[in-house]
Amino acid sequence: MSLAPFKPIHHWLDNTAAAYMQPDDMPVVDFSHPAGEAALIPHDSVSWQVFKNPVSLFIGGVTAVILELAEARVRAGVWDHTSFRTDPVPRLKRTALAAMVTVYAPVSTARSMIAGIVRRHSRVAGTADDGRPYKANDTRLLNWVQATAGYGFTEAFHRYVRPLSAEERDRSWSDAYPAAVLYGAIGAPRSEAEWKTQLAHMTPQLSPSPIVFEFLGIMRRADAFPALARPLQKLLVRAAIDMVPPDVARIIGLTPKDGLNGWQRALVVRMARSADRIVLRQSPAARSCVRLSLPEDWLYTRS
C-alpha cells in the first residue's frame, strides 16, 4: 500500500514535534552536531528507545509529576518556584527539552545545560506545607525526583508500547545513573530493585494535597497537544494516573475510576505503539542518530 496519502500528516507531525522541542525562551539545540560526539547516555541504551516515543513520554511525565507532588517539600519547590500554574505549556516545553538534551544531546551540551539547572536550583528554598524547610538541591529530594522520572518514562513504555524484560528495566536505571549524578541525585536507583526499595521507603512520607488535583486539571486543559490531537489528552492523563503505585494512589486520593477502563487502555496502547513506528526526522532521537553516523531511522528498526 502506498504511503503517499499519509505524507502530509507525517510532515505535520514532524514539524509540530520539532517546534515543541525549541521553546522560544531557550537557545536552539542542534542534536546533529558536532559529528561523532557521544551522549551522556549510550545510543544503544533502553533510554534512547524510550525517549523517542512522544505518547509514552507524555504519560510517563505526568505520572512522574504526580509522584513528585505527593512529597510535600518537592511539591512546594515545584509549585512555588515555577510558572507551571500560570503558564504550563512553556514550562512543559522547557522540561521536555531538558529531558531530550540529557538523553540525546552531545555530552558537552548536556553537561553545560545540567550545570545551569543545578545553579538555578541552588537559589530555590522555602518551607513546605507540613512545616519542613527544603532546598531544591537537597540530595534526598533530587533522588526522589530522578526516581519518579525513571519510573514514569520506563513504566509508560513498558505498559503501552512494548513489554520490557527485567534486564532491560534494570539497564534503563543503570544507563541513566551517570546523568542523575550530574543533577546531584547520587542516591538515584540503579536497578528496578533499588527503585522498589526507594518507593517503599518514601511512601510513608507522602501526603495528600489539592495541588495534585490542580495539576491534573491543568494537564487535562493545557494546550500541550496540537489542536487535532487535544481530545485525546484527557485519555493520556488517565493513563498516567493508572500507573501511580496503588499505595501512593490511596494516600493522595486517586481511585481506579480516575484511570483507564478496558477500551480506553486498548486505545492508548494502539496510539503509543503507532507513535513508536513514526520516524520524526527532526526529532532529537533522529538527529542524534545522524550525529553518530547512524541512519535517522536506526532506533525505529531496533524496536
When mean pLDDT is compared across 10-14, 163-167, 192-196, the lowest value belongs to 10-14
Which is it for the CA torsion 136, 89, 220, 235, positive or negative? negative
What pLDDT digit, counting tens, does each position of 206-221 carry?
A: 999 999 999 999 999 8
When mean pLDDT is compared across 57-71, 99-113, 128-142, 222-236, the lowest value belongs to 222-236
Unique residue bearing C-alpha cell 487535532: 228
Sequence-separated (6 or more) residues with CB below 8 Å from residue 230: 223
DSSP H/E element including 102: helix 88-104
Q: How much is the pLDDT for 1? A: 35
When mean pLDDT is compared across 89-98, 102-111, 189-198, 206-215, the lowest value belongs to 89-98
What pLDDT digit, counting tens, does each position of 3-29 carry?
A: 344 455 556 566 666 666 666 666 789
Angle formed by the axes of helices 166-183 and 139-160, nearest 10°: 150
**In this structure, are residues 272 and 278 in contact, taking their beta carbons and an 8 Å threshold?**
no
Confidence label for 232 from pLDDT (cuts 50, 70 and 90) = confident
**What is the Cα–Cα distance from 303 to 216, expressed in whole angstroms?**
31
Angle formed by the axes of helices 166-183 and 192-202, nearest 10°: 60
Unique residue bearing C-alpha cell 528498526: 301
Residues paired with residue 135 on neighbouring β-strands, in sequence order: 125
Q: Where are the domains of the chain?
A: 4-21+49-301
This prediction's pTM: 0.92
